[in-house]
C-alpha cells in the first residue's frame, strides 16, 4: 500500500544530518552575520539553522561571546597578507586599512569588535604580520608589542564609529549640523576653532585613516615603554 503524501516519514528514511563541528557552527554563524547582522547570531538562531538543539552547540562553543569572537577571527582570514612592495610603513598601513575595511563591511561586527577578544589562528596571523613589519622597521620589541595593540585599537574604533553611517537616515543631517557648528564658530569666543574650522572637517576618510596610522607609527617608533 502506497503511503499518503502527507504521512510522517520514518526517521530511518530521512537523510542523516551532517555531524556538528566547531568549524561548521562558525561557518553558519558567518552566513547569518552576512545575511542578517551580528544581533541575529545567537545559539538559538544557529540551532535552527543547523537543525539541532541549542544545548548541542555548547559542546563546541561555550557562549555567544565566544561565538562572536570566532566569527571575527574567521573574517580576519579575509584581510590577506601584507603587500609585497612598498616601505614597511606603507605595507603595515595597508594591512591595517584592509582590517578596517573588513570591519566597515560588517557594521554590527565592527561595534562588537571593540570588546571582543579573538584568539583564533587568523588573529594570531594578523599579530604576527604586524610584529614582523615593525621588526623590519627596527622598532624595539617592547614598543612593537604595545604598539600593535594601539594600532588595532585605532583601526577598530574608526570602523565602529563609521560603520553603517551611510545607511543611517540621520547620519547626513548629524554631519551637516556639526559642519555648520564648526564653521560658524565665533572668532571672539572660539578663536582657535574658527581659525582651523576648514581643516577640522577636511580630508577624505581614507587619507585621514592613513595619516593616523603613520602618526601612531611615529610615536610608537620613538616612545620607549616604561620599565
Map out the domains of the chain as residue ranges: 17-75, 84-222
Q: What is the distance between the alpha carbons of residues 153 and 148, in angstroms, rounded to a whole number?
A: 8
Domain 17-75: which topology? Arc Repressor Mutant, subunit A (1.10.10)
**pLDDT of residue 77 exceeding 80:** yes
Q: Quick check: do 17-75 and 84-222 share a fold?
A: no
CB 100 within 8 A of CB 152: no
Neighbouring residues of 96: CB distance < 8 A, sequence distance ≥ 6: 130, 151, 152, 155, 213
**pLDDT of residue 33 exceeding 50:** yes
How would residue 10 be classed by pLDDT, with cut points 50, 70 and 90?
A: very low
Pick from 79-88, 168-177, 182-191, 216-225: least confident: 168-177
Q: Per the confidence metrics, is the pTM higher than 0.85? A: no
CB 74 within 8 A of CB 116: no
Distance of CA 84 to CAs 91, 94, 99, 137, Å?
A: 8, 11, 17, 15
**C-alpha cell belonging to residue 8:** 510522517
pLDDT > 70: percent of the chain:
90
pLDDT at 82: 94
Largest CA distance in the chain: 95
**pLDDT of residue 4 exceeding 60:** no
Instruction: Give the tens place of pLDDT for each residue, 145-155.
Output: 999 999 999 99
pLDDT at 12: 45
* Domain 84-222 is found in CATH 1.10.357.10: yes
Cell 610608537 maps to which residue? 220
**pLDDT of residue 11 exceeding 70:** no
Mean pLDDT (whole number) for 90-104: 95
pLDDT at 18: 73
Q: What is the distance between the alpha carbons of residues 72 and 77, in angstroms, rounded to a whole number?
A: 9
Q: What is the distance between the alpha carbons of residues 83 and 77, in angstroms, rounded to a whole number?
A: 15
**pLDDT of residue 9 exceeding 80:** no
pLDDT at 55: 92
Share the mean pLDDT of the chain.
89
Amino acid at each position: 500500500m502506497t503511503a499518503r503524501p502527507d504521512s510522517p516519514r520514518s526517521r530511518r528514511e530521512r537523510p542523516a544530518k551532517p555531524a556538528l563541528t566547531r568549524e561548521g557552527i562558525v561557518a553558519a554563524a558567518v552566513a547569518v552575520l552576512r545575511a542578517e547582522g551580528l544581533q541575529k547570531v545567537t545559539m538559538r538562531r544557529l540551532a535552527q539553522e543547523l537543525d539541532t538543539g541549542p544545548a548541542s552547540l555548547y559542546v563546541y562553543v561555550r557562549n555567544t561571546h565566544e561565538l562572536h569572537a570566532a566569527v571575527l577571527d574567521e573574517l580576519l582570514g579575509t584581510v590577506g597578507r601584507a603587500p609585497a612592495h612598498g616601505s614597511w610603513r606603507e605595507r603595515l598601513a595597508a594591512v591595517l586599512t584592509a582590517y578596517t575595511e573588513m570591519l566597515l563591511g560588517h557594521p554590527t561586527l565592527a561595534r562588537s569588535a571593540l570588546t571582543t577578544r579573538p584568539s583564533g589562528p587568523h588573529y594570531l596571523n594578523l599579530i604576527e604580520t604586524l610584529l614582523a613589519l615593525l621588526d623590519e622597521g627596527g622598532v624595539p620589541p617592547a614598543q612593537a608589542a604595545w604598539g600593535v595593540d594601539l594600532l588595532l585599537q585605532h583601526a577598530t574604533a574608526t570602523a565602529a564609529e563609521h560603520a553603517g553611517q551611510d545607511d543611517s537616515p540621520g547620519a547626513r543631517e548629524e554631519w551637516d549640523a556639526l559642519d555648520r557648528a564648526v564653521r560658524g564658530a565665533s572668532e571672539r569666543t572660539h578663536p582657535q576653532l574658527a581659525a582651523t574650522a576648514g581643516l577640522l572637517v577636511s580630508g577624505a576618510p581614507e587619507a585621514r585613516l592613513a595619516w593616523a596610522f603613520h602618526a601612531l607609527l611615529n610615536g610608537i617608533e620613538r616612545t620607549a615603554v616604561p620599565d
